[in-house]
Amino acid sequence: MDKENWKKHALFLCKRGHLETELLLEHYVKTLPQQIKTEETHILFELLNLDDNTLFASLLTSDQPLPSAHHHLQPLIDAIRRKYLMKQE
Is 1 a domain residue?
no
Is 22 a domain residue?
yes
pLDDT of residue 62: 74
User: How many domains are contained in the chain?
Assistant: 1
Each residue's pLDDT tens digit, 27-48: 999 999 988 898 999 999 999 9
Percent of the chain scoring above 70 in pLDDT: 93
Q: How far, in Å, CA of 73 to CA of 71, rounded?
A: 5
Q: What Å distances lie between residue 43 and 15, 39, 65, CA to CA?
A: 18, 6, 17
Is 55 a domain residue?
yes
Is 39 a domain residue?
yes
- Give the residue numbers spanning the domain of 60: 6-88
Report the CATH number that the domain containing residue 49 is assigned in CATH.
1.10.150.250
Percent of the chain scoring above 90 in pLDDT: 58
Each residue's pLDDT tens digit, 43-69: 999 999 999 999 999 998 877 778 888
